[in-house]
A = this chain, B = another copy of it.
Amino acid sequence: MSSQRESEEDLLRLEEARNKFISEIAKNIHLYNISSSVGRLYGTVFFAETPMTLDEMSQSLGMSKTSMSTGIRALSEANMVERVWEKGIRKDLYKTEDDWYKSFSNVFITRWRNATELNMSAIKDSKKMMKELYNESNDESIKEKVDRDMEKLTKAEAYYEWLNEVVALFDTGEIFDIVPKKH
């Protein structure tokens, strides 16, 4: 038999244990470009026994419902939480995406693919402008400068091509042949 008092103490201890992990998540989630307090939100939903409503989150974190709304949106965009349907319940319900591999890949792939593509396209533009300048200029010192710059850009380009292939490794799931998922 367990007394009421004991149970309350136990619940506090459970809270404490959960909080340890939640705090760490909050500290490191900036790697996903997500703020620390939205990280706490994630942690809260992660440990929730059932999918949570915005009001429950607000209550649990002592923050406004508006913040919960924007926080959940950020987490959704990063594929870290998802909306869940339950019949008879009018409020929106959210749970954490339980495939951690998927959320990591999603964030990593989208961010880096986007960056490499934009950078590569900027390099192409810059090179094109420089080539034209090279052909049209009569100034030797300018031509030398352009030459050096183009070389630098070509090196950068090669790197971005490499990075793009690395991203593809994750995108295709090939990475899991190299480093298998753990169970």
Interface residues of A (CB under 8 A from B): 1-2, 6-7, 10-11, 13-14, 16-18, 20-21, 23-25, 27-28, 30-31, 33, 46-47, 49, 98, 100-101, 104, 111-112, 114-115, 118-119, 121-123, 125-126, 129-130, 133, 137-139, 141-142, 145-146, 148-149, 152-153, 155-156, 158-159, 161-163, 165-166, 169, 175, 178-183
Contacts and interface: CB of A to CB of B under 8 A. Distances in A.
B101 A17 contact: no
Nearest to A158: B182
Name A's interface SS: helix
- Copies of this chain assembled into the complex: 2
Contacts of A100: 155-156, 159
Given A18-B126, A24-B122, A155-B98, A142 B179 contact: no
Contact of A16 (B24, B123, B129): B129
A57 to B, nearest CB: 18
Nearest to A128: B17
Contacts of A118: 24, 27-28
B137 A162 contact: no
Contacts of A33: 30
B119 A24 contact: yes
A126 to B, nearest CB: 4
Given A126-B21, A138-B1, A183 B158 contact: yes
Given A104-B163, A158-B181, 16 more contacts: A2-B138, A14-B142, A14-B146, A17-B149, A20-B122, A20-B125, A20-B129, A21-B123, A21-B153, A28-B114, A28-B115, A49-B145, A49-B148, A100-B159, A104-B159, A178-B178
Contacts of A98: 152, 155
